[in-house]
Each structure stands twice: as structure tokens, then as C-alpha cells.
Amino acid sequence: MTRRIWRIGSLLSGDGSGTEAFASVCEKGFANGEIVLVVSDRAEAGGLERARTRNIPTFVVNDEEVGRSPALFINDFSKHLLSLEKIGELISQSADIIPVSITDVNERAAWIIKRFLAENFLLDILVKHRIDFLLLDGFAWELSAFFIEQVGIRFGEHCLVDVS
């Protein structure tokens, strides 16, 4: 019987040393997995280049770009996400990740909508790549309660691994 190789994704913002170490462990056969995707919130993150030298696909998800390109995110989930009731719920659940410099209620709502669109886009990318486990390697975003909940629903409760 062939053992299933776990598909691992990594979220990083910096040099990706944790991701590279984990990739080495997998390549040596000490872990039954393969890193199949590296995502960063920063296009200049050194970990992206480390992944590319290992022929691992990379992707950049930046919430500023997401906010400028809403047409990319028209799907059933984002339509639901933008209901007034859901916006209020998400803002109250995620008040701790909104930068303290944003005090205006409308600006806070706009910031959280943009972040949730970016996180939903990130979740869609992870689903597309059929990720089993997700490494957090110094990812700069404070992930929202929504994101953590959705990861648990879509990939399983114990699929987040912090290697930072």
C-alpha cells in the first residue's frame, strides 16, 4: 500500500527559512509531505525566491491589490460576505486586527472588507492547490478569526503548523 504524501502550503513574509527547513525534512523522507505552494503578502519576500529555486509554485496575495481589483473576487462567498449583517459580525470579531490608526467607522469597515476579500482569495488559492497542511512561517498578516475558522472547516482543525 502506498502512503499518501501530504500537500503542504506555506504562508510567509520574510526569508522563508522555516519553510526551507521543512522542505528539506520532507525531501529527506523524515516527513511524509511535499511543499506544493508558497504564498506571501510581500512580493519582495526572500522566501519566494527560495521556493522558486526548489521549483515550488509561488503566489503573492496583497490586500491592497485585492482592494484595487474587486472583479477578481466576485463569487457566491464574497456576495454573502458583503451583506450588512455579515460585515457587522466580521468587524466585531476582527476588531483586534484592524490597525489602531483607523478610527473612523466607515474606514474600519472598508479595511475589514478588503482584508476579508484578500483572505477569501487566499483560501480559494489553497483549495485550488488541494492543501492538507498550512505552515505559518512568519506571515506578517494577523489572520482573522474568519480565516482561522475557514481553514478549520475547509482543511481540518489541526492543519495549521507555526514554524516561525
**Domains in the chain, please, with CATH?**
6-162 (3.40.50.170)
Nearest one of 137, 160, 105, 157 to 41, comparing CA atoms = 137
**pTM exceeds cut of 0.85:** no
**For residue 64, what pLDDT is reported?**
65
The answer to whether the beta carbons of residues 13 and 7 sit under 8 Å apart is: no
Beta bridge partners of 149: none
**For residue 25, what pLDDT is reported?**
93
The answer to whether the beta carbons of residues 144 and 93 sit under 8 Å apart is: yes
For 94-103, what is each residue's pLDDT tens digit? 778 888 898 8
85 vs 43, higher pLDDT? 43
**For residue 74, what pLDDT is reported?**
47
**For residue 66, what pLDDT is reported?**
60
**For residue 73, what pLDDT is reported?**
47
Long-range pairs for 86-90 at CB < 8 Å and ≥24 separation? 87/112, 87/113, 90/116, 90/144, 90/146
For 3-31, what is each residue's pLDDT tens digit? 789 999 999 999 999 999 999 999 999 98
CA angle, 103 then 122 then 4, to 5°: 145
- Rounded mean pLDDT, 106-118: 81
Per-residue pLDDT band at 132 (split at 50, 70, 90): very high
pLDDT at 78 over 70: no
84 vs 61, higher pLDDT? 61
**For residue 45, what pLDDT is reported?**
95
